[in-house]
Amino acid sequence: MRKTSALWALLMALVLASAACTSATSDGEAADSSGTTADAGTDDGGDDATDDGGDDATDDGGETVELTQGGGLLASVQAAGELKCGTRDALAGFAVLQGDGTHVGFDSDFCRVIAAAVLGDAEAVDHVDLETADRFTALQSGVVDVLVRNTTWTASRDGSEGATFLQTNFYDGQGMLVNAGSYANLGDMDGSVICVAAGTTTEGNVASEFERLGMGVEVLSFEDNDLIQEAFTNDRCDGWSADSSALSGIRANFPDGPDAVTILPEVFSKEPLGPAVADGDTQWAQAVEWAIFATIQAEEFGITQSNVDSFLTSDNPNIQKFLGVEIDGASLDPGLGLPTDFAYQVIKQVGNYAEIFERHLAPLGLSRGVNALWSDGGLLYAPPYR
C-alpha cells in the first residue's frame, strides 16, 4: 500500500528540513518542474544528504532506532512482520502501481523476494512510493528498510549518501530516445536540447558524453517522466535521455505508438542498478544480498517456481543445502539470520531471476545481454552457499 498518512507527510517534512540544514542541495532538488537548464558538470550522486555515520535511523514514529553490526533491523523487520520497501509507482517494467493498489514490476518483485527470504511471505511488503529527491533521505531516516528503485550505484552515493549498495540485479546503461527519423546517432545531435529527470545521474552523463564528443547541448531537467513526456511531445526536447531499460518502457507505452520514436544505438554510461540499505547494519545488508543471490543461484541450478518442490528430494548436496533440506538431521545454517529454507521460499513464492526478468522486462523488448548468468557470458554470479 502507499504511504499517504499525515504522519508520513510530517516525517518527510522534518527529515527534509533537517537534511537541508546539514547538506548541500542536490541538482535534482533545485530543478524547476517547468524545465530548467542543468549544471552540465555536476553529478547528483552524493549531494542529497550528509551521512552521519550510519549509526542511527528514525522509524515511522519519529523515534531513534539504534542500528548495530548485530543486525538490529533484521530483527525489527521480522518482529514487525512487514518489509518497508522504497520503490516508485510509474516506471514500466520495473514498478507500476495498479488500480487495485498492488505494485507490478521487476523492482516490485525483488521487494517480494526480500520479504519471502526474511519473513517467509512475499506479500508482507509495504511498497513505499518515493520521489527521486526523497529516496536516500527515506532510507537514512528509516522510513524504508531497503531501497529497490532502479537506483544507480556510484562512488559518490556509496561514500556520501549513508547507503550500502548490494548485489546489482540489473546492469543498465544510459541511452537516448528521439523522434523516429530525426537523428541516426549521437553524433548528429550537436546543438540539440536534451530532457532528463532531475536528481539522477542522467544529467551529468549527458554533459560528459557530449563534452567527450566535442559537441554542445542544452540539458533541461524535470521532476518526473510525465513532465518530460509533455515537453518532448511539444517539441521542447530533441532527445530524451534515461537508462536504456527505462526508455524501452517509455517507447513501448508512447502515446503515438512505439514506431513514433526510436532509441539511438549508443549506450554511453554504466548504470548498475540494485538494492541499497542504510549504512551501519551488516547483518541486514547480508540478509538482503543473499535473498538476491538466491534468485541467481536458483536459475543456475535450473530450479523454478513450478519445479522447486521436485528438487527437495535431489541427491545433489549443494541443492539440498541451498533449499534448506536436512542432511544427517540438520539443515545448513550459515549464520545469516535467515530461516534455513529462505531460498526455497523465494523461489516458490516469486521465482528465479530468469522468471522475474521474463515476466517484466522481456515484454519491453529487453534481452538478457550482460544480465545473463556468468555461465552464459553474462555478469550474474552468486557466491557458493556452503
CATH number of the domain encompassing residue 217: 3.40.190.10
Provide Rg for the chain, Cα atoms. 21
**So what's the pLDDT on residue 199?**
82
Task: Report percent pLDDT > 90 for the chain.
Answer: 76
Mean pLDDT, range 240-258, rounded to an integer: 93
Distance between alpha carbon 162 and the CA centroid of its chain, in Å?
16
Q: Is residue 344 part of a domain?
A: yes
Are 177 and 267 in the same domain?
Answer: yes
What's the rounded Cα separation, in Å, for the pair 159 and 102?
A: 34
Residue 179 contacts residue 236 (beta carbons within 8 Å): no
Q: Is residue 266 part of a domain?
A: yes
Q: Is residue 80 part of a domain?
A: no
- Which whole-number Å values give the CA distances from 353 to 304, 340, 372, in the listed order? 9, 20, 9
Q: What is the pLDDT of residues 269-305, one digit of tens each?
A: 999 999 999 999 999 999 999 999 999 999 999 999 9
> pTM here?
0.79
Are 223 and 191 in the same domain?
Answer: yes
The β-bridge partners of 170 are 273
Lowest mean pLDDT among 69-83, 147-161, 288-302: 69-83
How does 274-313 read in b/e, with b if 16+ C-beta sit within 10 Å?
Answer: bbbbbbbbbbbbbbbbbbbbbbbbbbbbebbbeebeebee
Reported confidence tier of residue 200, pLDDT bands at 50, 70, 90: confident
Neighbours of 163 (CB within 10 A): 26
Query: Domains in the chain: how many in total?
Result: 2
Q: Is residue 142 part of a domain?
A: no
Q: Which domain-ending residue is among 209, 238, 272?
A: 272
Q: Which domain-ending residue is among 272, 301, 325?
A: 272
Are 259 and 335 in the same domain?
Answer: no
Higher pLDDT, 4 or 170: 170
Reported confidence tier of residue 18, pLDDT bands at 50, 70, 90: very low
Neighbours of 181 (CB within 10 A): 9
**So what's the pLDDT on residue 76?**
97
What's the rounded Cα separation, in Å, for the pair 49 and 134?
A: 10
Residue 322 domain boundaries: 283-376
Q: Is residue 165 part of a domain?
A: no
What's the rounded Cα separation, in Å, for the pair 260 and 352?
A: 35
Are 220 and 305 in the same domain?
Answer: no
Distance between alpha carbon 370 and the CA centroid of its chain, in Å?
17
What's the rounded Cα separation, in Å, for the pair 215 and 266?
A: 15
AA identity, residue 21: C
Are 300 and 344 in the same domain?
Answer: yes
Are 189 and 231 in the same domain?
Answer: yes
Q: Is residue 211 part of a domain?
A: yes
Say whether pLDDT at 65 is over 60.
no
Q: Is residue 109 part of a domain?
A: no
Are 361 and 317 in the same domain?
Answer: yes
- Which whole-number Å values give the CA distances from 50 to 25, 27, 59, 135, 139, in the listed order? 10, 15, 18, 13, 12
Are 262 and 300 in the same domain?
Answer: no
How many CA atoms does the CB half-sphere of 242 hold within 13 Å? 24
Are 178 and 246 in the same domain?
Answer: yes
Q: Which domain-ending residue is among 272, 303, 335?
A: 272
**So what's the pLDDT on residue 201?**
86
Q: What angle do CA 293, 200, 37 make, to 5 degrees?
A: 170
